[in-house]
Amino acid sequence: MKWEAIYQEKLVSIEKAASLIESGDTAWFGACSSAPIQLLEAIGDRYESLENVDLITAMALYPYKFLKSKDYIGHLNFHTIFYGAFERQFYKTGNVNVNSIHLSNIARTLREHYEVNTLLADVSEPDEEGYMYYGPMGVVVNGEVAEMATKKIVQVNKFQPKVKGVKHRIHVSEVDCICEYDHELPVLPQPPISDIDRKIADLLLPHIPDGATIQVGLGGLANAVGYGLEGKQNLSVHTEMFTDSMVYLAKKGVISGKILAAFGLGSTELYDFVGEGKVELAPISYVNNPFEIGKNKDFISINACLMVDLTGQVCSESLGHFQYSSTGGQLDYVRGASVSEGGKSFICLPATVNNKDGSIKSTISLNLPDGEIVTTPRADVMYVVTEYGIAHLYNKPIRDRVLAMIKIAHPDFRAGLLDEAKTAGLLS
């Protein structure tokens, strides 16, 4: 049977597709811009007929109805393995279950802990062979979930690009059900670049050689570094997230080597660029594997954090006991850089944050505050950067680390940190 006939045979309404979800199912649905929004809302419409359905994703970009009311708890239970803005917005409602794992472990976590049996994915229109593509975001894990799921339901969306990669598509013959709904992909607005971001970027940029392979995270600082690289030559990319700054560098010819990513997230321009086949996508279990990262010579990893203690312990995901984001891929890339020939990893943060009363607080402290999570252990940290300088910590004695961290703290806090370090016995 030709694929066109198979497609028509499996094509149903969104409501019919939603009816295939049964009590007790555990479903992964595409993260961020790869979510089948209308299918998920249709599943939400029939929540009263369902019991103990677990819906798992990472960093939702849509305010799903099952996030907004306690009524869904026990019927449709929402789980996230990367805690984002919408999850934080609706956390107090009670139907947001937070996990925090290394992104390289997503597939294993879905298979061994959640025991996922269902894939819900937003996909492209079929190509001439009948393959539907997961798009810039979906390759991150959809292909691996398809291998473990016994039920595969897709929503075809003409706005979802056909992408290049590995485990990046699924054939019409491999799915149980097809529904259709065209919607533009949710974009991730870019935060502004602050003066402090620019100062940190200016300190970093001289340490990135021509010909390096880069990984840059998300946020104003990442953008300051990314766009600041326009004076470099012959860069390559090996990153979990392909960003708008990387699109800019590629179009200017600064990135002339390979571009490998687990996903692309940002603007419509970025989605179009990835859809042109200029980015190689692969599952994040491969892309974020530190040993694969380390195969790149002169690998440069740049990530942001929230706080660092005087010995170099890094918190990037919590404010006290309040979960703010998740572990993500930071440690994957820090460790990958450490095994790269000429590799370097930089953890960046502003030296202070503002208190509610307008005063400032140091982000470098003797100890991390109660409840704050160590995202990256001190023994893995290479460089910590604030607007006041770069502290080289890797493999250094604790005394040297403490002194290096005090030097990059805000000047108003250096004397106090020095006294605290002496009182604690970190310095004599």
Return the H-helix or E-strand segment holding 90. helix 85-90
Q: CA-to-CA distance for 126 and 121, rounded, in angstroms?
A: 14
Structure tokens at 319: 């404010």
Parallel, antiparallel, or unpaired for β 389-392 and 383-386?
antiparallel
Phi and psi torsions of 92, nearest 5°: -70, -15
Dihedrals phi, psi of 322, to nearest 5 degrees: -80, 115
Q: Three-state SS for 357?
A: coil
Q: Tell me, yes or no, if 22 is annotated catalytic.
A: no
For residue 77, the 8-state DSSP code is E
**Alpha carbons 143 and 167: distance in angstroms, whole number:** 5
144, 240, 317, 372: which one is catalytic?
Answer: 240
Give the DSSP letter string of 1-54: --HHHHHHHHB--HHHHHTT--TT-EEEE--GGG--HHHHHHHHHTGGG--SEE
Torsion angles phi and psi, residue 178, rounded to 5: -130, 130
Note whether 46 and 16 are within 8 A (CB).
no
What is residue 145's three-state secondary structure? helix
List residues with catalytic annotation.
240
